[in-house]
Structure 1
Amino acid sequence: MPRRLLLATLFLAVAGCASPPPASIHTKDPASSTLQGDATRPAQAQWLRTELYFSVGPLEGKEGVISPTRWRTFLDQEVTPRFPDGFSVLDAYGQWRDHGAKEPERLGTKVIVILHENTPQRGKDIEAIRLAWKRITGDLSVLRLSQPAEVSF
């Protein structure tokens, strides 16, 4: 009996290997894909990786917490129009100790990661996002980290 089970398992494994790969969601002809990249995003451009850190409220208690709906609205109204080609959002835990405070605040945090060309307009877009969040929430700061990035599509 164990031999039949082993043969059946082996048959299913081999049959699975013969299956065609799943269709790509990004191209209609996966065979036409190359490693040449996306011509609309030139490799010679100077790229930055910018991370923006947003407090979405204290971990303990409900007062001051930004709801998931409010966060998505902010993304839809402030971030997506400025970076329609894409960005990533990460959930994080953060701590912040204001000057003179004995204990740090423990905060729910969202991190937006944007890969963008290093241009004055993109810098203005980043600053507009930071300013919008401060106006909406009353927060004093939105941490920005920008560093050069080698990007390939």
Structure 2
Amino acid sequence: MKAMIAALAALLMLSACAMPAPAPAPASAGAALHGDPAHPAAASGWVRTELYFGIGPVGAPERGVSEADWRAFLDREVTPRFPSGLSVVDLYGQWQGTKDPTPQRLRSKLLILLYEDTPAHRAAIDAIRSAWKRQTGQLSVLRVTQPAEVSF
């Protein structure tokens, strides 16, 4: 009986190997914005930049930057430089300056930008960071930039 069950199990496993591959997705499932230069079907030479902004201490929403002030900053400093789109994520972060005895726990915003890697775009990123530091008096805005393969 055990041999029969083992043989049946082996037969079932082998039959799964003979299943045909799934059909490819229809052409209409491709890039919806094909041909739009700002949203290419596929592009090389693009990067993803993440900017981390501290907006205020955790547990003290009355201190720091309000949501309205954050949106005004986006409208004034970011959107004109990157009108094709961006993403913002609310998060918690920690930062410890060289003179801080313990880490500062901060409400934070993560700004994610995907763009063609050009000197003008890199200068725009630096301008955004400088504007935030001027507006808030903060010492830094963490920047992470890496190559990105994109399609829309």
Instruction: Please report the TM-score for the alignment, with normalisation by the length of structure 2.
Output: 0.74
**Structure 1 runs not aligned, ≥5 long:** 1-31
**Matched residue SS, 2:133:** helix
Contact map agreement 2:44 2:149 (CA 8 A) in 1:
no
Q: Percent identity?
A: 52
- 1 CA distance for matches of 2:43 and 2:80? 25
CA distance in 2 between partners of 1:101 and 1:140 (Å): 13
| TM superposition shift of 1:74 | 0.2
Q: CA RMSD in A?
A: 2.0
Cα distance in 2 for partners of 1:46, 1:85 equals 17
The alignment status of 1:109 with 2:108, answered yes or no, reads yes
3-state DSSP class of the match of 2:122?
A: helix
Which has the larger displacement, 36-45 or 105-114? 36-45
Aligned to 1:125: 124
1:35 maps to 2:20: no
**Bigger Cα Rg:** 2
| In structure 2, C-alpha distance between the alignment counterparts of 1:80 and 1:102, rounded to whole Å | 37
For residues 50 and 121 of structure 2, what CA distance do their matches in structure 1 show?
13
**Which residue identity does 2:130 align to in structure 1?**
L
Q: After superposition, what is the alpha-carbon deviation per residue over 1:14-38, rounded to whole angstroms, capped at 9, x for unaligned? A: xxxxxxxxxxxxxxxxxx9562552
Relative distance call for 1:62 and 1:91 in structure 2 (3 A) is closer
CA–CA distance in structure 1, aligned partners of residues 113 and 57 of structure 2: 25
Task: Tell me which amino acid in the other structure corresponds to 1:74.
Answer: F
Q: Distance in 2 between matches of 1:149 and 1:122?
A: 15
Q: Secondary structure at the match of 1:66?
A: coil
Matched, 1:70 2:66: no
Distance in 2 between residues matched to 1:95 and 1:113, nearest whole Å: 19
2: CA distance, partners of 1:150 / 1:60: 38
Q: Which residue of 1 aligns with 2:48?
A: 49
Partner of 1:61: 60
Post-superposition CA distance 1:25-75 (Å, at most 9, x none): xxxxxxx95625522144343010000000001113356410111000000
TM-score scaled by length of structure 1: 0.74
Say which SS state the counterpart of residue 150 (structure 2) adopts.
coil
2:90 alignment counterpart: 91
Structure 2 residues not aligned, in runs of 5+: 1-26
Alpha carbons of structure 1 residues 60 and 124: separation in structure 2 relative to 1, 3 Å: same
